[in-house]
Chain A
Amino acid sequence: MPLKILVTAKRVEDPESKIRVKPDGSGIVTDGVNYKMNPFDEIAVEEALRLREAHGGEVVVAAIGGEKQQTELRAALAMGADRAILVRHDGPLDALVVSALLAKVCEQERPDLALLGKQSIDDDQNQAGQYLAARLGWPQATFASKSESLESEAEQKKLPGVVVAAGGKSARVVREADGGLQTLEVQLPAVVTVDLRLNKPRFASLPGIMKAKKKELKELAAASLGVDLAPAVVVRSLAEPPRRKGGVKVADVDELWKKLHEEAKVL
């Protein structure tokens, strides 16, 4: 059974970039900051591609954002996604708005599976997939992982971690829960959000990048989808947390022990 998969690829600040708050607390300094696809979404795209390689079908990549968000959609196309949808919207978003727009895209596209990252590394909310599942009335399997490590043979073979049953009616997902790994079986269509240990994403190849330029990237105006675009989670101000001050270097274990025992009194 071929699978149709919708996967998201959000544009975020590069995790390697230094993030500083503007003096008036109204936002972050964007000078010198690089942008890339949310690292969790790279894992989601990789998983979508592996599922297509295993079952056939189509991978549609979607995102909500401004014009620059095209770059990350092209990056997903370069990895191998078939086509892209950009829901054009400038301005702040929250999970209510993102999930309402993605739900519209899902209603149009009717995927078997929606794959999202577990969290955006800019707002760190960890919400959009769960909101989307609730809106669609679909089951959810969050924080998808694998029992094997990323150095294992299964990973070398680039097999999907999400196991879709023959017939394409259900999928098994190993997820990171409190205190262990839980395996869920969800009926499709379902929402799956991915965690770090699900796979190692591939790099785009040069031919992949060339091909991506010719693939379809459709734009939809968010305002045309009949969704309330006013976010309900409104950032009032930003601040940098108090920095921890570095302490002292000690010469050896004896001195370390003394400091911990007599000065810090933790041992």
Chain B
Amino acid sequence: MSNVLIVAEQFDGKLRKASLHALGAGQQLAARTGGALHVALLGHGIAEAARGLAGFGATVHVADHPALAHGLAEAAAPVVVQIARDCGATLVGAAATAAGKDLLPRAAALLGAGMATEVLGLGGAGPAILFRRPMWAGNVVAEVEITTPVKVFTVRPTEFAPAAAGAAGEVRAVAVGIDAAALRTRSVDFQVVKSERPELTEARVVVSGGRGTKGDFKAVEALADALGGAVGASRAAVDAGWAPNDWQVGQTGKVVAPELYVAAGISGAIQHVAGMKGSRVIVAVNKDPEAPIFQVADYGLVADLFQVLPALAERVKASR
């Protein structure tokens, strides 16, 4: 039996969209291996999010416990292991979010399993799965085999279509036996980055600013708002404190693949490009005609971003 378990995520009781992409990968794997599809949701007060997982042909395992409220890997990893063993899963995966990357390797170690991070696609034939994944900031795509009986992975959400509708699937409550007093991790604070804008990884349009903004993100934000999009940033802009960590696009930040990506005052270092080259249309605005960003941009404009972005925002508004 080679069943598939996808660990879904919720935040504040809301299911994360990235998990539906991971579940899509789970459907592909179950079809390849002939195994059954299972999905786990961990947290506290998560009934609503759990309902969002029904209807994809998967058995839904709901682990609701106060000690799971803050997504602590120390508390959650043994629960993932318990569910994986209960449902006979040999493939255990999640979305490659910060939470997925924190939790899954810890669970993998407890399962004695090898793991592939940020899977882009599946290779191999039939039930013999090879995982395609990026290395060296996306300069290289590797096909890797995992030889342990249980194989663990995270998938890049932009590379997998969300799960297709399927049978309702049984919902099972997991008996969680965590000794909260024995936990040696405690969550003391969470500073939420609040935003009216769409989530960076889910937005149709992303406008990003780099060092070329010299710290003034107003034009970048105004264009994003005119387009109903999200705001991104290069590492240089985040390091300087001009943009929150959450906005960083790249190898070590968020990976985005919107319909339209506008890079303003960003030179186009490989580590940045690794996070946005899957976008459908890329626009670059940069004063330097030699900037490497123009090598990946569909439309390049050699000009000052402080003139271009407001003018483009005006054009967008005028066309409405």
Contacts and interface: CB of A to CB of B under 8 A. Distances in A.
Interface string A15-55: 10001110000001000000000000000000000000000
A152 interface: yes
Contacts of B138: 241
Given A124-B118, A232-B146, A267 B227 contact: yes
Nearest to A20: B139
B140 A134 contact: no
B: contact size bracket: 35 or more
B300 A249 contact: yes
Most buried by A among B72, B73, B106, B136: B136
A124 B302 contact: no
Interface in A221-267: 231-241, 244, 246-250, 252-254, 256-257, 259-261, 264, 266-267
Interface string B136-157: 1111111111111000000000
B65 interface: no
A180 B295 contact: no
A231 B114 CA distance: 8
A246 B295 contact: yes
A126 interface: yes
Contact of A151 (B241, B251, B296): B241
Contacts of B270: 15
A94 B109 CA distance: 12
Interface residues of A, number: 83
A238 B139 CA distance: 10
Interface string B214-245: 00000000000001000000010011110001
A112 interface: no
Contact of B187 (A183, A231, A233): A183
A150 B236 CA distance: 10
Contacts, number: 265
Interface string A60-100: 00000000000000000000000000000000001110010
A259 B77 CA distance: 49
B1 interface: no
B160 to A, nearest CB: 16
A138 B73 CA distance: 11
A224 B1 CA distance: 37
A205 interface: no
A244 B269 CA distance: 14
Contact of B136 (A96, A122, A133, A256): A122
A178 B99 contact: yes
Contact of B114 (A121, A232, A259): A232
Chain B binding surface, main DSSP class? mixed
B175 interface: no
Given A125-B117, A131-B109, A180 B99 contact: no
A249 B290 CA distance: 12
B320 to A, nearest CB: 10
Contact of B301 (A143, A241, A249): A249
B125 interface: no
Interface stretch (B22-30, B40-48, B308-316): B308-316
Contacts of A13: 136
A15 B137 contact: yes
A151 B240 contact: yes
A197 B236 CA distance: 11
A44 B70 CA distance: 25
A150 to B, nearest CB: 5
A247 B263 CA distance: 14
B165 interface: no
Interface in A99-128: 99, 118-119, 121-127
A183 B188 CA distance: 6
A182 B115 CA distance: 25
A184 interface: yes
Interface string B38-75: 00000000000000000000000000000000111110
A239 B136 contact: no
A28 B140 CA distance: 9
Interface of B: 9, 11, 16, 70-74, 77, 97-99, 101-110, 112-118, 130, 133-148, 183-193, 205, 227, 235, 238-241, 245-246, 251-252, 259-260, 270-271, 277, 280-283, 289, 294-303, 308, 311-312, 315-316, 319
Q: Which 5 A-B pairs have the closest CB atoms?
A: A149-B241, A232-B114, A134-B109, A130-B105, A247-B298
Interface of A: 13, 15, 19-21, 28, 94-96, 99, 118-119, 121-127, 129-131, 133-135, 138-143, 145, 147-152, 172, 176-187, 190, 195-197, 231-241, 244, 246-250, 252-254, 256-257, 259-261, 264, 266-267
19 contacts: A124-B117, A125-B115, A131-B108, A133-B73, A134-B105, A142-B101, A145-B245, A147-B191, A150-B240, A181-B245, A184-B188, A186-B186, A233-B114, A233-B144, A237-B142, A246-B294, A257-B312, A261-B319, A267-B260
